[in-house]
Amino acid sequence: MSQYIKKVVSFGAIAIAGASLVGCSTYYEALSSVPDDSLMAKRAGFALGIPAEQLTISNPTKEGVRIEYDVTSKDGGKYQCYMSNTLGVPTDAVCSGTSANGAVVRSCNDLQKAAGQC
């Protein structure tokens, strides 16, 4: 094998390795990040039946792929929600808490509904 071919092959291998590292770091960043408040409010709003604009998100914490956060509605309701960020794709939120009038609220996902849990 000529020196030129060895250099081309070496350069190609280095370029592929570098591109892989950049791709992995971008993927890891997506996995380890917490979605922004607007997305969490949108998902919580859908789960609770409250417009996202009426919700305030606070205290987001991440444990593995699970993201837990508190939600307060403009009318005084207080809720706790969680969602997952699996492979960089956020799931729907599941929420529970107390509405402004004191009623206990619990959202259900399709799996819980199918199991007759709500």
Q: What is the pLDDT of residues 51-83, one digit of tens each?
A: 999 999 999 999 888 999 999 999 999 999 999
CA-derived radius of gyration, the chain: 22
pLDDT for the residue 76: 93
Q: Supply 117's token pair.
A: 């849990």
User: Which tokens belong to 23?
Assistant: 């791709």
pLDDT tens across 23-56, in order? 444 444 545 578 899 999 999 999 999 999 999 9
**Rounded Cα gap, residues 22 and 108, in angstroms:** 38
Q: What is the pLDDT, as a whole number, of residue 64?
A: 87
Residue type, 39: L
